Chains A and B, each alone.
Chain A
């Protein structure tokens, strides 16, 4: 677990502080979203408690990314109610967005800024206190301290992914939304990400992750669900076998 490791390996990086708990991490009721005439999400309900890790599987085009974009406030739903950490995503949008960190296929990073400058910029947008220290901490967590002053365009794809993870956790959000976070990461980095997320949920923070990697999704998540026909199916504990599946776990 080379340089993505933190905590437990002699590193001086502080542990993830506990999340302030208001309501549930995520409450979704009757969510609807369509593009043109085609509905993508239909009457979708979801409740995620503090410290829970939900993995969502689904075929291409099932609406996984759309669901994450709605939860992060990037896409406006056609109907239904979404509350993040007790805040209505529509009416208390800024308070809700402050509590969310997003890792998606797009790293939201500027190629001509260094790793440190990118994090400092986002830290200012999120009004992060003690920014200098927090940036150094986040870089340490993803093993990019030695490359802190290198421009993003000079980093490999995997390193850029790690930096985008640092960007997402910089403001210590209560809810992490991860869209296939393992893509582009090498095996050691994936293991380190697993450790980070384990610590994240142990501190009472929550995670929603989409992935096509069933083994990884079931190993990491406390709950697993499949998104199909616009709704979440088989939403249950990740190690709970499907009825009549001969022992195969949910989502497989």
Chain B
């Protein structure tokens, strides 16, 4: 209870703030849509090359739109002084961190749910796939967990807009590669167990588990100062 209540309060507060301001989801969505349009015209994805090109384009959009959303969420927290207010409270750092992860996870899922049909229409692939949904869930969980940690670090620095992607992308790369590989298999007509899915999906789950154990611990150390 001492863990879940503050976590739920944090999620409630961030969702309410986003409902009022709409600056995180809307800016990430606009960015994602621009990526979709630009890549669509630049690469001219023909039906025969969908499985080759579409996964990369899709995950570039998801990754950068997600990074934008996570960075903005922490900047808002810092600008309004809330981060220090949170750390003053008698709440475990794990609850604060995991609350923030949950918020980022929800924001990213909303952004992805809105962008996916647009990409499916523009790039001509089927978005209705359980394997693709599972891939998105696993990759987004890893993104949200690691991204929240690096956002908390980057927000302390002056060049935070550069720092977050510079720190974040090299570490999240295995998850990103896995997501692209599995998405490629799905868009090529494969399913669970085909191609690289049997190898990549469990690996992504392992990465998520590792991030969920290590990141709260690192956050509790950096939050002390």
Contact = CB atoms under 8 A, between A and B. Distances in A.
Contacts, number: 70
A125 B207 CA distance: 30
Given A109-B80, A110-B82, A113-B13, A126 B89 contact: yes
Interface stretch (B16-24, B36-44, B117-125, B161-169): B16-24
A43 interface: no
A107 interface: yes
Interface in B153-199: none
Contacts of A125: 6, 9-10, 86, 89-91
A127 B84 contact: no
A203 B135 CA distance: 58
A110 B17 contact: yes
B49 interface: no
A179 to B, nearest CB: 12
Contacts of B224: 76
Contacts of B88: 72-74, 97, 100, 102, 108
B6 A98 contact: no
A75 interface: yes
A156 interface: no
B148 to A, nearest CB: 18
B92 A108 contact: no
Interface string B7-37: 0111011001100110000000000000000
B85 interface: yes
A72 B88 CA distance: 7
Interface stretch (A12-20, A23-31, A116-124): A116-124
B130 interface: no
24 contacts: A72-B88, A76-B224, A76-B225, A95-B90, A97-B88, A100-B88, A102-B88, A107-B81, A108-B81, A108-B88, A109-B82, A110-B17, A113-B13, A113-B17, A121-B9, A121-B13, A124-B8, A124-B9, A126-B89, A126-B90, A127-B2, A127-B6, A151-B20, A167-B85
